[in-house]
Amino acid sequence: MTYETTQTDGIKLMMDEHQLILRVLTVMRTACLNLLKTGEYTDSDFRQMIEFVRNFADAHHHGKEEKLLFNRMTEELGPAAEKLVTHGMLVEHDLGRLYIRQLEDALNRIKDDESAVLDIIANAVGYTDLLKRHIDKEDRVAYTFAERHLREETKIEIDKACEAFELEQSEKGIQRRYNEMVKGLEAKYL
């Protein structure tokens, strides 16, 4: 049996989402460079970036990975998948969440603590560097490993679950909202 489907290809969808996430990372780095050069920043823009990361990159995208793909990989593919997922991908997801919490904390205290500027830049740039490497590993290693080694039936189940999740999210306007948010931030910073 070959892996062919007319419904959503869950892994390809996740790779496509990486492209939107990478666009936000570019905006975030550019906003940090502007802050470094001028000392000025727009609080609401950084908070939009945080919202995007939490609600799209993490809840929407990482949520699919964690609930629909990675758990199946660890169940079905043994120690190699366990090491890749548990000690690699999931650790990096948690580290990214820490960077974003610390970025938000720095934004919250910048009015009273000018050194918070350093924390804004450090955490935003740390997050962008982490996520760029993370996305590359997922695209080249984790997803490729899943595509090659998961059972065909498992891949079809993942595709169906991704399709149902995307439909539910589309009805809430999630994809449209965050695509438009990214376009607006790009128009301002790039």
Could you tell me the residue ranges of all domains in the chain? 14-189
Q: Determine the Cα–Cα distance for residues 166 and 162; give it in Å rounded to an integer.
A: 6
Which pLDDT score is estimated for 61?
Answer: 97
Task: Tell me the C-alpha to C-alpha distance, in Å, between residue 137 and each of 18, 63, 92, 127, 142.
Answer: 11, 17, 11, 15, 6
How much is the pTM? 0.94
- Please say if the pLDDT value at position 98 is more than 80: yes
* The CATH number, out of the four listed (1.20.120.520, 1.10.274.10, 1.10.3720.10, 3.30.200.20), of the domain defined by the range 14-189: 1.20.120.520
pLDDT in tens, 126-145: 999 999 999 999 999 999 99
pLDDT in tens, 148-175: 999 999 999 999 999 999 999 999 999 9
Average pLDDT, rounded, for the chain? 95
Half-sphere exposure of 112 (CA within 13 A, CB side): 4
Q: Determine the Cα–Cα distance for residues 128 and 167; give it in Å rounded to an integer.
A: 29
- Please say if the pLDDT value at position 3 is more than 60: no
Which pLDDT score is estimated for 164?
Answer: 96
Please state the φ and ψ torsions of residue 172, each to the nearest 5 degrees.
Answer: -90, -5
The confidence band for 8, taking pLDDT boundaries of 50, 70 and 90, is confident
Half-sphere exposure of 44 (CA within 13 A, CB side): 4
How many angstroms separate the first and last alpha carbons of the chain?
46
Output DSSP code: residue 154. H
Q: Are 159 and 7 in contact (CB under 8 A)?
A: yes
Q: Are 189 and 36 in contact (CB under 8 A)?
A: no
